[in-house]
Amino acid sequence: MDFPAALLARVLAKEDDGLVRLDFGLGEDAFAAALDAAGTMPLPPYIAARRAPDAQDRDDYQTLFARVAGAVAAPTAGLHFTPDLLARLAAAGIGRVEVTLHVGAGTFLPVKADDLRDHRIHAERGQITAEAAARINAARAAGGRIVAVGTTSLRVLEAAARDDGTIPPYDDETRLFIVPGYRFKAIDMLFTNFHLPRSTLFMLVSALAGRERMRAAYAHARAVGYRFYSYGDACLIERAG
């Protein structure tokens, strides 16, 4: 494949976790413009292996909540939401607050370490505005439940949360790796797609609901033919206890 001259880079370093650091010699705006001109939607390999990306993918593989460029993949739980569904949720009195976590490549890496403490997750940048934090805290103080849409939203909320569960404004990188035994502070429920075994995301949902409960749920999903992956089915999980 021929790349435009603007996207020729010098390798600065090769990291142990598989990351390669490149220097394109461009400013942020020029680099973004070059990527937009030469690139295609970064579909997951199980989709891209079957066909080339097309113009429709720019809409299909993007959530209604997307505002700021930075993620390497769509937060797939958000793909289930449509304008009509959001309107129905609002009519039912369910509030909505938007937060940001730029999904990193490490989210999709399988866990190969025998000891989970040896698994290194890539840093991901997250932001929670002062207004969003205030609305979340007000909802909890009024007795409401905090439902994270997707593991991305959950991770940024948990990374920001204080020990008492309140959320301050947040703008930082997080390497939060949630495994069974983790004490959740910020969220009560999670709306998420079905994730693969031995993935960090399956460990997260097992930490939330309990391993045996999730194993039973996944056995049911496989038995009745639920779909996994980006365009697959989703479930609503309550925090154990």
CATH number of the domain where residue 74 is located:
3.40.1780.10
The per-residue pLDDT for range 102-152, each reduced to its tens digit, is 887 666 666 665 655 555 667 888 999 999 999 999 999 999 999 999 998
Asked if residue 241 has pLDDT above 80, the reply is no
With cut-offs at 50, 70 and 90, classify the pLDDT of residue 67.
confident
Query: Contact at 8 Å (CB) between 134 and 48?
Result: no
Cα separation of 39 and 82, whole Å?
Answer: 26
Average pLDDT of the residues in 193-219: 89
The pTM of the full predicted model, rounded to 2 decimals, is 0.84
What range defines the domain where residue 140 resides? 65-238
Number of domains in the chain: 1
- Look at residue 47 in the predicted model and tell me its pLDDT: 85
Are 117 and 127 in contact by the 8 Å Cβ rule? The answer is no
Q: Is 131 part of a structural domain of the chain?
A: yes
Residue 197 lies inside a defined structural domain of this protein: yes
Burial of residue 171 (CB within 10 Å: 0-12, 13-18, 19+) is: exposed
**Statement: residue 167 has pLDDT above 80:** yes
User: Residue 114: inside a domain, yes or no?
Assistant: yes
The residue assigned the tokens 């993918």 is 57
* Domain assignment present for 58: no
Residue 9 lies in a domain: no
